[in-house]
Amino acid sequence: MKNRSLVSIDDFSTEEILKILDLTKEFEKQPIRKLLAGKVIATLFFEPSTRTRLSFESAINRLGGKIVGFADASSSSVSKGETLNDTIRTVSNYCDLIVMRHPMEGSARFASEIATVPVINAGDGANQHPSQTLLDLYSIRKTQGKLDNLNIFMVGDLKYGRTVHSLMMAMSRWNTTFNFISPEELKMPDEFKLYLDNLGLKYYEHNDFTDIISRADIIYMTRVQKERFSDPIEYEKVKNVYVLRNSMLKNTKPNMRILHPLPRVNEIHQDVDNNPKAYYFEQALNGVYTRQAILCSLLGIK
């Protein structure tokens, strides 16, 4: 994987994904290692994303690397009208690897083609966010002991949710059964269902999940955002249907875990947080180990 970029989860073979997950496990055991000593990593955040940026920067710091970069475009030369092309060509000279978040879709692929160092896509608009997918896969494998033959419930905004699309595509490599639970307006788009049809994988669509929750191995919650609805009345009608409460978890499987890419608003009630099945904060911690593994893989250090 040395000198490769990570733009889309599909860039990596199943074998390569599993290699990163194995390496993540090593970092979980021993996260503080000076493997990036003497390396400079650029974190270019053309749009703010505090969580992702801090997670990457924490990973870099724990590995002893140094960081250059900016946290939003207004404090960079973009505000002076510089093209992405010029920014990437210039920054390539200053660092050993670029981590980039950009609002335009396809920007990360473009950057990876002009950069002379590896690029990690930390989110390009609504398109891809592969380090999130890898940390989701790690969290699933860690809590379930395997990735094969699981029943995954995806809940909330399945239409615009970048993380659910990437996770769905990635999990389709392991014979997953999917349950999609969303309001009518935010259903999983046809192109993704067609993708599962072509692979012969089973999926079911529901508007509510209280009756079927006992079948889930993983419940992947996402935010239902008000601004996604053309009709505000529709939002008012559905906003409480997709809220997970502790009382709903009574009959769930013992191995079941709840994941959420965070930030959460109200879709997981706070009374769930102390339930041992709530896994979203550990999931965020796994993100640091996963990013350590990605950084070291692309730099050819591990």
Partner 1 sequence: MKETKQMSVSAIQNGTVIDHVPASNLFKVIQILGLDRIDNQITFGTNLESKKLGRKAIIKISGVFFEDKDINRIALVAPDAKLNIIKDYEVVEKKVVEVPDNIIGIAKCMNPKCITNFESVTTRFRVVSKKNVALKCHYCEKITNQENLQII
Residues in contact with partner 1 by the rule CB under 8 A: 8, 83-85, 102-107, 109-110, 124-128, 191
Of residues 24 and 128, the one with the C-beta less far from partner 1: 128
- The contacts found for 271-277 with CB under 8 angstroms, 24 or more apart, are 271/245, 271/246, 272/244, 272/245, 272/246, 275/246, 275/249, 277/249, 277/252
Of residues 20 and 88, the one with the C-beta less far from partner 1: 88
Of residues 40 and 84, the one with the C-beta less far from partner 1: 84
How far is C-alpha 272 from the chain's CA centre?
Answer: 22
Of residues 190 and 211, the one with the C-beta less far from partner 1: 190
Give the whole-angstrom CA distance, residue 286 versus residue 292.
10
Of residues 112 and 143, the one with the C-beta less far from partner 1: 112
Task: Report helix, strand or coil for 43.
Answer: strand
Token pair 């399945």 in the structure block, residue: 158
State how far the alpha carbon of 239 is from the alpha carbons of 53, 226, 260, in Å: 29, 8, 17
- Tokens read off for 218: 């993983």
Smallest distance from partner 1 to CB 96, Å: 24
Are 150 and 215 within 8 A, CB to CB? no
Radius of gyration of the chain (CA): 19
CA-nearest of 203, 204, 207, 278 to 248 is: 278
Smallest distance from partner 1 to CB 102, Å: 8
Smallest distance from partner 1 to CB 87, Å: 10
Smallest distance from partner 1 to CB 113, Å: 9
Contacts of residue 29, Cβ cutoff 8 Å, sequence gap at least 6 = none
Of residues 37 and 104, the one with the C-beta less far from partner 1: 104
Smallest distance from partner 1 to CB 84, Å: 6
Smallest distance from partner 1 to CB 131, Å: 17
Give the whole-angstrom CA distance, residue 213 versus residue 218.
10
Smallest distance from partner 1 to CB 110, Å: 5
Of residues 121 and 179, the one with the C-beta less far from partner 1: 121
